[in-house]
Amino acid sequence: MKAVYGSTVLAEAPAEELVKIEGNWYFPPASLVDGTFERSDTAYHCPWKGDAQYWDVGNDDDRLPDGAWSYPDLLPGAVEKVGTEFAGYVAFDRRVTLSD
């Protein structure tokens, strides 16, 4: 699968490497394209996953604030609930296009 915002590819990985959680596809960290993510200060806490890290995504000409998020440090039980490790995997805002 591929995650694209505007004309910028943000991530690309085989579908079997992604994890679907609560309707969102999470891409593995190794699939992220360098230079298309900038750390955001936005804070969010999920009661069962933990503290989220938000990212502004895109390029200098077309950037989507808080367009992606991940959970770098999962709470105990999160992996068991999902059935697989997903620490650091990245999900995208609905304005990012996901395609096969």
Q: How many other C-beta atoms lie within 10 A of the C-beta of residue 16?
A: 6
What are the residue boundaries of the structural domains of the chain, listed by start?
A: 2-99
Contacts of 32 (CB under 8 A, 6+ apart): 10, 11, 90
Can you tell me which residue has the tokens 């991940």?
70
Can you tell me which residue has the tokens 């955001």?
40
Amino acid at 46: C
Q: How many other C-beta atoms lie within 10 A of the C-beta of residue 19?
A: 16
Fold of domain 2-99 = 2.170.150
pLDDT digits (tens, 9 = 90+) for 4-18: 999 999 999 999 999
Integer-rounded Cα radius of gyration of the chain: 13
Can you tell me which residue has the tokens 């969102």?
24
pLDDT digits (tens, 9 = 90+) for 42-85: 999 999 999 999 999 999 889 999 999 999 999 999 999 999 99
Predicted pLDDT of residue 7: 94
Straight-line distance from the first to the last Cα atom of the chain, in angstroms, rounded to the nearest whole number: 4
Predicted pLDDT of residue 60: 84
